[in-house]
Amino acid sequence: MSEDKPRYDFHMHTFYSDGELIPIELIRRAFVHGNRAIAITDHVSFSNVDEIIPAIARDCEQVDGWDITSIPGAEITHVPPSKMDSAVSKARKAGAKIIVVHGESPVEPVTPGTNRKAVENPEVDILAHPGFITADEAEIAKDNGVFIEITCRQGHSLTNGHVRAIASSVGAKMLVNTDAHDCEDISTYSSARKVALGSGMSESEADDVLVKNARELLKRAGY
26 exposure class (CB count in 10 Å sphere: 0-12, 13-18, 19+): buried
pLDDT tens digit at each of 223 positions of the chain: 345 689 999 999 999 999 999 999 999 999 999 999 999 999 999 999 999 999 999 999 999 999 999 999 999 999 999 999 999 999 999 999 999 999 999 999 999 999 999 999 999 999 999 999 999 999 999 999 999 999 999 999 999 999 999 999 999 999 999 999 999 999 999 999 999 999 999 999 999 999 999 999 999 999 9
Q: Centre a 10 Å sphere on the Cβ of residue 142 and count the other Cβ atoms it contains.
A: 17
Alpha carbons 158 and 34: distance in angstroms, whole number: 26
Of the candidates 82, 187, 101, 197, the one whose C-alpha atom is nearest the C-alpha of residue 148 is: 101
27 within some domain: yes
89 within some domain: yes
User: What pairs with residue 99 in β-bridges?
Assistant: 74
In tens, the pLDDT along 156-202 reads 999 999 999 999 999 999 999 999 999 999 999 999 999 999 999 99
Alpha carbons 184 and 15: distance in angstroms, whole number: 15
Identity of residue 152: C
Q: State the pLDDT at residue 1.
A: 36
Q: State the pLDDT at residue 2.
A: 41
44 within some domain: yes
- The number of distinct structural domains making up the chain is 1
129 within some domain: yes
2 within some domain: no
- Going from the C-alpha of 155 to that of each of 105, 107, 145, 158, 178, the distances in angstroms are 8, 6, 26, 6, 12
Q: Centre a 10 Å sphere on the Cβ of residue 209 and count the other Cβ atoms it contains.
A: 23
Alpha carbons 175 and 213: distance in angstroms, whole number: 7
Residue positions counted in the chain? 223
Domain range for 13 is: 7-220
141 within some domain: yes
Pairing of strands 174-177, 147-151: parallel
83 within some domain: yes
1 within some domain: no
Residues whose CB is less than 8 angstroms from the CB of residue 137 and which lie 6 or more positions away in sequence, other chains included: 115, 116, 119, 130
Q: What CATH number does residue 215 fall under?
A: 3.20.20.140
